[in-house]
A and B are shown apart, each in its own frame.
Chain A
Amino acid sequence: EIVMTQSPATLSVSPGERATLSCRASQSVSSNLAWYQQKPGQAPRLLIYDASTRATGIPARFSGSGSATEFTLTISSLQSEDFAVYFCQHYIKWPPWTFGQGTKVEIK
């Protein structure tokens, strides 16, 4: 099973600032990596797939990068609605398809 490790666990950022979230895979997942945003009481929402492609309707301030074992989600200028928990997930061919433990982005 591939273990996904996210850091930091909590990120304190002021509105308008840049946020950088990391996700590391225990073995290469190529570019088969997705990012999700989850707000309290809501289901996760797909932000990024294939490591760097924004899902439909996702603002350009969200960007993803990386490949193999190291990935980054960047939010260029945090808006109030961006304070949430973010999860990464790999989807190489065979299961289990695992998630990271999440990074909470909170208001500084």
Chain B
Amino acid sequence: QVTLRESGPALVKPTQTLTLTCSFSGFSLNTSGMCVNWIRQPPGKALEWLARIDWDDDKYYSTSLETRLTISKDTSNNQVVLTMTNMDPVDTATYYCARTGTISGVVTGWFDPWGQGILVTVSS
């Protein structure tokens, strides 16, 4: 069974750096084609894809946020870390991690499954 779980602070101050950890089980980021994504959702709003890291350490970022985002992986501990610098109240959202899997070694593209999410509030 594949599971993912997000962890990190519930509250950060403006200008601070947010660090979130996605801990997963049931798959390995050493497996060809496996990827982990970060996606966020402001309260009552739509989903926004933020970043993805692949089994081969390729990394992809949202065009609008790439200067503020860094994604990394700790394969031995089955964790993926996202940092977002210079946090602002508009960054208040539930942050999810989600797997992108593989079929016959080819990256699929959709997100399944998702973690439960973590609500991060940016406020002084």
Q: Is the interface of B mostly helix, strand, loop or mixed?
A: loop
CA distance A102 to B41 in the complex (A): 12
- A49 to B110, Cβ gap below 8 A? yes
Q: How many residues in A have their beta carbons less than 8 Å from beta carbons of B?
A: 23
State in angstroms the CA–CA spacing of A50 and B41 once bound together: 23
State which of B7-15, B24-32, B81-89, B114-122 sits at the interface with chain A.
B114-122
- Interchain CA distance A73-B116 in the complex, whole Å: 24
- Least CB distance, A89 to chain B, in whole angstroms: 7
Judge if A87 is at the interface, Cβ distance under 8 Å: yes
Let me know if B46 and A1 touch, CB within 8 A.
Answer: no
Partner of B110, one of A1, A43, A91, A100: A91
Query: Within B81-124, which residues are at the interface with A (CB < 8 Å)?
Result: 96, 98, 108-117
Task: List B contacts of A36 (CB < 8 A).
Answer: 47, 111
Does chain B have a CB within 8 A of A59? no
A1 touches B63 (CB 8 A): yes
Q: In the complex, what residue of chain A is closest to B96 when comparing beta carbons?
A: A43
* Given known contacts A43-B96, A49-B108, A99 and B46 CB-to-CB distance under 8 angstroms: yes
Quick check: A96 and B63 within 8 Å, CB to CB?
yes
Asked if B55 is at the interface (CB within 8 A of a chain A CB), the reply is: no
Chain A interface residues (CB < 8 Å from chain B):
1, 32, 34, 36, 42-46, 49, 55, 87, 89, 91-92, 95-102
